[in-house]
Every structure is written in C-alpha cells, then in structure tokens.
A and B are shown apart, each in its own frame.
Chain A
Amino acid sequence: MPMKVHVQTRLNGEEVEFLCEPRQSLLEVLRDVLGLTGSKEGCNNGNCGACSVILDGVLVNSCCVLGVETAGREVTTIEGIASPDGLHPLQQKFLEHAALQCGICTPGFIVAAKALLDKNPHPTEHQVRYWLAGNLCRCTGYDKIIRAVLDAAQTTEAKV
C-alpha cells in the first residue's frame, strides 16, 4: 500500500488535516476519509458534475482533483453552503421550485450555481444554462432548476 500523505487544508471555513494516499481523489477524500458524503460520484471522470466543489473560488469536479492537491488551499462543499442562520437562498429556491426529484445531482447543482452567482449575481437564463451544462440531471429536464437559480439571483438577500 502506498504511503499516506499528511495534508492540511481549509474546508468549509475550518482548518482540517487528513491522511490520504497520493492516488486518492478529492472526492474520495471528502467521502471516505472525512465522511462528507454530500458530494456524489456519478461518473468519476468529470462529466456529470455531481461531485462539484469550489476550490480557491473556482468550480471543479472533485473527482478530477487529487486530495493532496488541496494542501494549503480552500475548499467549499455542499456541506458548507448553508449557514447556522439557515439555508442559502439557492437551497431555499430549489425547494420552493421543486427543482429536484431524486436529488443525487442536487448538491452539485447548488455548488455550481453558487459559484456562478459568486461571479455573476444576475445571470440571464442563457448564462445559467451555459454555466450549469457541466452538471447532468436526468430527472427534471432542468426547467425547474434554471427557474430556481434565476429566482435565487433575484432574491435580494442572496449571499453572493
């Protein structure tokens, strides 16, 4: 078995450290080492977006990043989107718009949409569709997801 590596990083606003094999992806580290199973594996090759996380402000597929690459960086996962005060407006709008069915893609969509609103607080429908094209949903046909994101962008208290 390969030697494990000690990694320090900032995860959802907290300093964390973990041991991982050099070959383990960030997705594996989040799920299997740190117990954060909100990021999902749909394809493990960067094509479905179910494992989306924000790394130093950039939206990435955590299946395509190695755990060791996060050393000294800042990671935000679905578990870090809500605050003690309550749900993020995106989460609330996903609920209100019924923008999920099975829910497996939902964490990835919410993280990806947050990364969009962080950059562009008032996107057009086309910009939302373009940005979220890296996230596959097989249940909803995207209609209600797009509406939820546009509505969240309208919400004045959106934390963007």
Chain B
Amino acid sequence: MAETTTYKVIGTRPIRHDGVDKVTGRAIYGADVQMAGLLHGKVLRSPHAHARIRSIDVSRALALPGVKAVMTGADLPPAEDRIINLGEGAVNLKYLSNNILAGDKVLYKGHPVVAVAATSPHLAEEALALIHVDYEVLPPVLDVREAMQDSAPLLHENLKTKSLGQETDKVSNVATHTQFKLGDVEKGFQEADVVIEREFTTATVHQGYIEPHNATAMWNPDGQLTIWESTQGAFTVQRQLAPVLGIAVAQIRVIPAEIGGGFGGKINLYLEPIAAVLSQKTGHPVKVLMNRAEVFESTGPTPGSYIRVKMGATKDGRVTAAQAYMAYEAGGYPGSPIGAGMMCIFSPYDIPNVLIDGFDVVVNKPKTAPYRAPGATNAAFASETVVDELCEKLGLDPLQFRLRNAAKEGTRRPDGPTHPRIGYLETVQAALDSDHYRTPLEGPNVGRGVASGYWFNVGLQSSVSINVNADGSVTLVEGSTDIGGTRASIAMQAAEVLGLKAEEVRPIVADTASVGYNDVTGGSRTTFASGYAAIEAAQDVVRQMTERAARIWKVEPPDVTFADGVFHHNNEADQRLTFQEVAAQLGRTGGPVTGRATVAPRGVGGAFATHIVDLQVDPETGKVTVLRYTAVQDVGKAIHPSYVEGQMQGGAVQGIGWALNEEYFYNNTGAMANASFLDYRMPTSLDLPMIDTILVEVPNPGHPFGVRGVGEVPIVPPVAAIANAIYRATGVRLRHSPMSPGRVMTEVLAKG
C-alpha cells in the first residue's frame, strides 16, 4: 500500500516492555497471587446435564477439620432479570448469577452447585466429596435442532421466544429469532443462473487458553472488596460483580494480574463472586482455581451450530442473492453470538438481495462465551464453502470471483451499515499476487483452498493517563489487560506523538482504582481504542509541556512549536528545548504534568482476511496434514508488526484446530467425554508448518495512525479454506466441522 507518512516508532519491532518478566517466570498471573492467611476454594459441580435440585446437605463437609465455609446459590442475593452489556457480549444478571451457582436447576454437566473454602486445596477437595446433593434427573437436549423441536425438554419454564423484536407467549428453548433483510431474495434467485443451497453443522469448541480461570478475593468487614485475577476486563468484572453481590461499584477494586490467554472466554464472571462470598463468610482472603476439566465443562465454549446457506450467481459470476438460516447453541442460558454471526456471514460481498434468519437456542451445555470473532467462523465455514461451489460451477478462480463481488467502501451490509474504507479487495489481490498462490501445488491427494472472512471490530471506551518524569521519560497508565503485546502497541503510539523511544515510555496496566474506565480487551479494540486514548493523552502532555516551554521563554504557547521531541521558539530559531529539558523544569514552572484522555472512538474500520491453505489427505486414514498456509489481512497500520503477525498466525492456527481436530464429545447422558488436553486435541507444533503472513495496510480513516483491530478476523477463514482444500484433494465436500480423520474417511468412502 502507498505509505506517505514517515514514523519513527510505529512500524518498528521493539522488545515488549513486559517481556523479561514473561521469559524469566517472574510475571505474576492470577494463580500466582499469594497472601497471608489465604484459604482455598473448590467448587462442586453437577454430574448431570439437566436436573432439578431437590436438596443439598453440606453438614458433613462443614464438620471436616480445616473447612471454613460452604456456600450455595442461596448465598448470592436474588438477581434481577435484566440485561447488562459487557462490550463483547451482553449478559442477563439472573442468568449470570444462576450460572455462578445454580438456583433450583442445573443446566449442564459442570454447572456449579456448592463451593467450599478450606485451609488447603486438597482439604477443600475432600470436603466436596462429603457434600450430598439430591437431584431429580431430567432428560437433556444437546443439539440445536433437537432443542428447537416442540417436543424437546425445556431448560427454562419461563423462557419465551423473542421474535423479530416482539415478545411472544411461546415458551421454548428458542430465546430469540432475529432477521436481516436487504432487497428481495426471491427476485434475486430468479435472476441467478446457478443456485446452490447447502447445510452445515459445527461442533462445540473451546477457546483453549492455557491458563485456567482463577480469582482471589478479600472482603473486608467495612464492605470493601478486592479481587485479584486474570481477566480480559477488570472494569467489566467490577461492573458485573456489583449487581451480582448487591454492592456498589466503588466498593469493589479489581486488580488484574497477567492473563494467560482469553480469546473472549475471560469476560464473564465465574469464580469472583464465589471467592468474594467465601471471603466474607470467613474473614480471610480466598483463592479459587479451576482445573482443566472444569475449564472445559463449565466455561467457554463457542456454540455448536446448524447453518443453511443458499446463494445464487449469474453466469458471469455476479452474486444476485444470498440467504441463510442460522441456529446457534447458547448453552444453558440465552446469549450465543448469533447476532455477530449474522452480521458477518455475507458482509465480504456486495449482494443486492439478502435474507438472514438467526436463532439463539438454549441447550444443556455450558453457557457459551465469546471466542475470537464470536460466531463468525461458523458463519464463514458455511458461506465461504458455498461460494467455493459457485466458483466451481461457474468455472471461475475463487479469488477472481471475490474480486468481482467484493464489498468496498459504500457497500451496504445486510445488517444495515455501509462499509467505510475497507481493504478487502486489497487482501484478495495480495493473495492472488502471493508466491504461495502463484506456485503450483503438485502431488498425490493434495489440495489448495482459499476463503475470506470479515469481522466488524469494536471501539468501546478507554482511558489513559501519562505522567512525565523529571528525566523526560514517561509512565503510561492504561487499563487494558495485555494478552498479546498491547503494552507495547499502546506505548509505541504515545512514544510516536511525544518524540520518545518506545523504551522511554513505561506502560503499566492499572487496577480499577488507578485509571479511568476501560472496556474489555476484546473485539480487537485494544490497540485501536486504548491506542487512541494514548495518542490523545500524549497530545495533552505536549499541550501542557508547550505551555511550560512558553513560560520558560516568557512567551505565549502559540509562539512555541513541538516537533520530533523538541520545543522550538517560533520567533528565535536558535532557541530550542528538548522534551527532557522541559521535563527537568516542571517543578519550577507549575508542577507535575499528567496528560489524560478518555475516548469512545467509533471509526473502528472493519477487518478482512483472505487465507490460502495447501494440504494433503492421507487416503488410508483421512488425516489431513497442512503443508503450507498463508494468511493475508488488511491490518490498517501495523504498530508492532511482529505482534500483528502473531495475531494472524495464532488466529489461523486456532482455526486449523477448529477445522481438523477440536470438538466436545458428549455421551448419551450429556456428559463431555473428552474434558482434557489429551482428548480435546489442540494443534501442537508438530501438526503445523510455519504460518506465512502478508500484512496489507489500508489505513483506517477512523484512527490517527490508521489502526484497525487485527486480533479476531484471522480465525474466520481457516475452517472454510480447509474444507475447500479437502475438496480439491479428495473430491468430497465436508460440511461438518471438525473434519477429523474419521469424518473425512467416512465421506471419502461414501463417495467410492
């Protein structure tokens, strides 16, 4: 892309500020928090996928020496039936509270029922074994289409379907039915020369962060509550926790530790209220950690789904109409990312006639949580596979087809908004021009597939303050949890404005009492929005420092100009003061300088990715081996290219795992059969080649440096790209993910 602006810091690759702590083991993650008098909490979880709780007897557990407190759902205040928005996703308080500790029903295996605090984790585990819960076991429903049947077991007796914005009287497992409509699909399909309609299903998958959930709480007798934990959003925890516990937001201080991955899964509350109430009951700090099985069975996952897509195109390769029916599993409580899936499914294309129906459906699985571009990967698997079939029928190169139909600035999305300046076409062109795509793929049982993906990104709210030190270095105080190098990408933006080196800015992720409000690290918003706040805070520093330089020179601020880290006297060319020289004189010119900014930027700029994959299918086992992978993405402006590449590589590999291995296996009682990293098979280093990246930079006009969120969209194309490549390798279209060896083999054998 044409790049006219010259930056000194942006686009370079400094070592991240928190790097040494993280390569030496010194960084403190949530589970590493230690304090005097600490008690350990453990949670007893439902062994049944669907049951009514008749009674709970904790007396034997309480009698065990070393056990200090026991709590159930009855120890949480009655929760209101009210929706609060958490940035990347919304939550109903009643459902949130009942998901922390069950009310009268358990809705999935792993649903928390009782919590215990004891003097050691092993004692707490022993205590759990002494608790007796009497259940009335109910039949579970685990599949989205079965759950939509009138005959299905009902999870919630009071859940009435909200249909097209209207409340209805229909009690069912369907929480909502929403619809996006553009033009007239019937007319559009009549204009088409080729129409293809296919059905797709996707299995439940987990975010798979390596660090289990954790929370440590200290609830003082004066009502002040402090939480230490790994979370994507300290303020989001604070905001959810206050109504769940029935206390004021200001009573709660959340101190975010380092976080060992989240991908959307560490936004909702799980352990915080439990640790808090156990602390209140005991007068001690209480730490609660999940084990890996609890993470699989009680947190995350992303929805299993059923999607039907119909698309029509003319002989010359113009898409005339597209229709989708999408049903997503929400888990035990409403709130799947169906809306986001609907927003993304056809948005890479300029299609005049679109109809999308989406259904949010409760099933007896853990309540779903956002997972990197939540809902969009399922959607793109369906739409991008149908696009590939259209290309095949029309005899068109799939990338040329995309060039012909690509959404661009001004294209209306089916959900209403028009695209601002986007770089989708540029990613497709870069893919066409890539060495990968231009190199023929040869050999037995090999295939190349491509697919594209869209994620809208979010802006939300961020606050940053910058304190100027006497030597001219600065401390940048931000509130965005750093999951993947955002201390660096935020600090670099401030450094660029201040004319400093990246290393001269010390970024600190502060707690909820030490920085203004910040929404979650999610929605690909952090480098965009907290970076935006850092720029404005740095500009505030420059404005104040300019006043100080003017005071030193006894002139007015407009007589001073700041450029490249130096203040210049506009009327006397030889008069100059470096940033450091002014910083040294702050005490004599009016006191300390702190720059501040709070922002809610709206010009997020959507993100597009186009991926190319070469793979080989073992004809005897159905095992798929990825041979070569290239991820192309419009990144707006890469602040720290290494970490942008890292997002693209990591997202692509999560998508590869989703496509080829990962799924929840359920037995017929609704229990997950593979709740471990041994059996829930995520990609290892041995399963993969290097992941090549092509960074396309179409600056986002909504950000001073052109930043677009980059974190989520790379997980959108891989599943479809792999399905399309498997077709090239085998002649078989797979329409269920994961495309594990058994499924591939079954389809290949069925074809004969």
- The verdict on B688 contacting chain A, using a C-beta distance below 8 Å, is yes
A42→B272 CA distance, assembly (Å): 19
Q: In the complex the two chains form, is B677's CB within 8 Å of A87's CB?
A: no
Query: Are B25 and A139 in contact, with the CB atoms below 8 A?
Result: no
- Contact among B211, B291, B645 for A40, CB-based, below 8 A: B211
Give the contacts of B105-119 with A (CB-CB under 8 A).
Answer: none
Assuming the contacts A100-B19, A129-B685, asked whether A43 and B24 have C-beta atoms less than 8 A apart, the reply is: no
B650 close to A (CB within 8 Å)? yes
Q: State whether the Cβ of B577 lies closer than 8 Å to any Cβ in chain A.
A: no
- Shortest Cβ distance from residue A62 to the other chain B in the assembled complex, whole angstroms: 12
B263 / chain A contacts, CB cutoff of 8 Å: 138
Q: Which residues of B contact A (CB under 8 A)?
A: 13, 15-16, 18-20, 22-29, 31-32, 34, 66, 120, 122-123, 207-212, 258-263, 289, 291-292, 483-485, 640, 642-643, 645-647, 649-654, 676-678, 682-688, 690-691
Q: With A139-B484, A144-B649 as given contacts, are A45 and B292 in contact (CB-CB < 8 Å)? A: yes
CB pairs A–B below 8 angstroms (11 shown): A31-B32, A38-B25, A40-B31, A43-B292, A102-B210, A129-B685, A133-B686, A137-B685, A139-B261, A141-B649, A145-B685
Measured CB to CB, the residues of A under 8 A from B are 1, 21, 23-24, 31-32, 35-45, 47-48, 50, 77-79, 81-82, 87, 91, 94-98, 100-107, 110, 128-130, 132-147
| Pick from A21, A47, A106, A134: contact of B23, CB under 8 Å | A106
Contacts of A37 in B (CB 8 A): 25, 28-29, 31-32, 34
Q: Is the CB of B686 within 8 A of A82?
A: no
Taking CB atoms, residues of chain B closer than 8 Å to A97 are 642
Pick the contact of A101 from B31, B643, B677 — CB < 8 Å? B643
Instruction: Give Cα A65 to B50, complex, Å.
Output: 37
Q: How far does the alpha carbon of A19 sit from the alpha carbon of B80 in the complex, in Å?
A: 49
CB contact between A78 and one of B24, B209, B643 (< 8 Å): that residue: B24
**Complex CA distance for A51 and B326, rounded to whole angstroms:** 41
Asked if B484 contacts A79 (CB within 8 A), the reply is no
Q: Which residues of A contact B24 (CB under 8 A)?
A: 38, 78-79, 81-82, 87, 91
CB < 8 Å neighbour of B485 from A77, A81, A98: A98
Q: Tell me, rounded to whole Å, the shortest Cβ–Cβ distance linking B702 to chain A.
A: 25
Contact assessment for B682 and A140 in the assembled complex, using a CB-CB cutoff below 8 Å: no
- Docked-complex contact A106 and B676, CB < 8 angstroms: no
Q: In the complex, given contacts A37-B32, A48-B292, what are 4 additional A-B residue pairs having Cβ atoms less than 8 angstroms apart? A: A47-B292, A104-B260, A138-B263, A140-B650
B496 vs chain A, min Cβ distance (A): 19
**Inter-chain contact A133/B684, CB cutoff 8 Å:** yes
- Chain B neighbourhood of A100, CB < 8 A: 19, 22-23
Q: SS class of chain B's interface: helix, strand, loop or mixed?
A: loop
Taking a contact as CB atoms under 8 Å apart, the answer to whether B212 and A41 are in contact is yes
Q: Which of A40, A79, A146 contacts B690 (CB 8 A)?
A: A146
B676 contacts A42, CB within 8 Å?
Answer: no
**Nearest CB in chain A: distance from B685 CB, A:** 4
Q: A138 CB to closest chain B CB, in angstroms?
A: 5
Q: Which residues of the other chain, A, contact B66 by a CB distance below 8 angstroms?
A: 1
Q: How far is the CA of A158 from the CA of B528 in the complex (A)?
A: 38
Distance A37 CA – B31 CA, assembled complex (angstroms): 9
Contacts of B483 in A (CB 8 A): 101-102, 139
Cα–Cα distance between A139 and B656 once the two chains are bound (Å):
13
B677 contacts which of A48, A110, A146 (Cβ < 8 Å)?
Answer: A48
Closest Cβ of chain A to B486, distance in Å, is 10
Which residue among A36, A96, A106 has the maximum number of chain B CB atoms within 10 Å of its CB? A106
Report the nearest B residue to A46, measured CB to CB: B678
Which residues of chain A come closer than 8 Å to B651, judged between CB atoms? 141
Once A36-B25, A44-B291 are accepted as A-B contacts, the answer to whether A138 and B646 lie under 8 Å apart by CB is no
The listed residue (A31, A104, A142) touching B211 by CB distance below 8 A is A104
Q: Which of B23, B263, B643, B649 has the most CB of A within 10 A?
A: B23
Measured CB to CB, the nearest residue on chain A to B655 is: A141
Q: Are A87 and B685 in contact (CB under 8 A)?
A: no
Cα distance, A104 to B210, chains bound together (Å) = 7
Using Cβ atoms and an 8 Å threshold, which residues of chain A touch B688? 129, 141-143
Partner of B653 from the list A94, A129, A142 (CB cut-off 8 Å) is A142
Contact: B292 with A143, CB < 8 Å? Answer: no
Which B residues are CB-close (under 8 A) to A106? Answer: 22-23
B646/A144 in contact, CB under 8 A: yes
Closest beta carbon of chain A to B307's beta carbon, Å: 25
Q: Which one of A36, A102, A107 has the greatest number of beta carbons of chain B within 10 Å? A: A102
Complex Cα spacing A91 to B645, Å: 20
What chain A residues lie within 8 Å of B686 (beta carbons)? Answer: 129-130, 132-133
CA distance A135 to B683 in the complex (A): 10
Q: How far is the CB of B521 from chain A (nearest CB, A)?
A: 11
Central interface residue in A21, A42, A94, A97, by most chain B CB within 10 Å: A42
A128 to B685, CA, bound (A): 8
Q: Do residues A40 and B29 form an inter-chain contact, with CB atoms below 8 A? A: yes
Question: Which residues of B lie under 8 Å from residue A110 when comparing CB positions?
Answer: 23
The minimal Cβ–Cβ distance linking B396 to chain A, given in whole angstroms, is 31
Pair A47/B260 contact, Cβ less than 8 Å = no
Cα–Cα distance between A87 and B31 once the two chains are bound (Å): 25
Q: How far is the CB of A64 from chain B (nearest CB, A)?
A: 12
Q: How far is the CA of A101 from the CA of B654 in the complex (A)?
A: 14
